Amino acid sequence: MNPTIFLFCALAACFGTGLALRGGWTSPLKTTILGLDPQGLGISALAVAAAMFFFGPVFGICIILVIVIHEFGHVAAFRVAGHHDASFRLVPLLGGYAISNRAVDTQEEDVFITLMGPAICLAPMLLAYALVPFATQYYPAAIGPLYTFAGIAGALNFFNLLPIWPLDGGRLTAAITSVFHDRAPFYIFAVSSALIGLIAVLAQSLFMLIFVIMTVQHMIQNGGGDGRAPYRRMTKKRARMCLGAWLFTAAALFMGGFSTIVQFV
């Protein structure tokens, strides 16, 4: 694709993201950040230092930046849904978790809030890739950081959308597939846990194995992992639309983060 056209498309994606989250960029209430106590700050500092030590300064900074953007997507989506009390909390190494004191009212609201964490990273990922040709011509030193940021944004958020509990993909699995059958989340979690567990063993990945254990624990604690929820259910037509949005977002992030995914799998 022509670099100028690609850049225009990336900027259009940024504009579209802004429209989707209109009303969520600011809040009439002061945004609270949980974990600013000495212990929380100390753990966060160690997490940042560890990321930079193991992956290098640029890679580590990009990981932190992607996590912040991802979690702001959740906070902004909460605000769009009327939860202006949404707080921002960073959980070292496992990402952040945006919370509100008020429970969501509908499954559509739950899906929107959950999906917007990974989805908000699509536009900056595309923009980073679109800027590479211009960086090649005008500022070559930015090529590496742009590729690194884009790859991490795609890979990290694609992984986050896999049907694993308690990742966003696991929450989407429970919210969307339960519309079609109460036991659908259980079957999906069982199959995904088996497949990802096999990959974890073959790749000798303790990190992936931990998530498999958490998914199995969730299935046991929630009556076999059914998807019944305390809010109003959406129609099957809405569920299909949400499923399409989830799969489209995951596919786009996979393509954007493919090189990084291959590097670490």
pLDDT in tens, 59-87: 888 888 898 899 889 888 988 888 877 77
Give the model's pLDDT for residue 12: 93
User: Which pLDDT belongs to residue 151?
Assistant: 94
pLDDT at site 236: 86
Confidence of residue 219 (pLDDT cuts 50, 70, 90): low
pTM for this predicted structure: 0.82
The mean predicted confidence, pLDDT, of the chain is 80
Q: Is the pLDDT of residue 114 over 60?
A: yes
- Put the strands of the sheet holding 95-96 in their side by side order: 33-34, 88-91, 95-96
Looking at the predicted structure, is the pLDDT value of residue 152 above 90? Answer: yes
Query: What distance in Å separates the CA atoms of residue 88 and residue 101, rounded to the nearest whole number?
Result: 12
Q: What is the pLDDT of residues 252-261, one digit of tens each?
A: 999 999 988 8
pLDDT over 50 at 93, yes or no = no
36 or 112: which leads in pLDDT: 112
**Predicted pLDDT of residue 94:** 45
Q: How far, CA to CA in Å, does 17 sit from each of 25, 68, 117, 185, 193?
A: 11, 16, 12, 29, 32
Higher pLDDT, 11 or 195: 11
Predicted local confidence at residue 225, as pLDDT? 46
Q: In Å, what is the CA distance from 256 to each residue of 42, 162, 261?
A: 33, 16, 10
Q: Is it the case that residue 185 has pLDDT exceeding 50?
A: yes
Between 34 and 31, name the one with better pLDDT.
Answer: 31
For residue 53, the model assigns a pLDDT of: 75
Is the pLDDT score of 96 beyond 60?
Answer: no
Position 46 pLDDT exceeds 60: yes
Query: Over 60: is that where the pLDDT of 227 sits?
Result: no
Q: Are 74 and 83 in contact (CB under 8 A)?
A: no
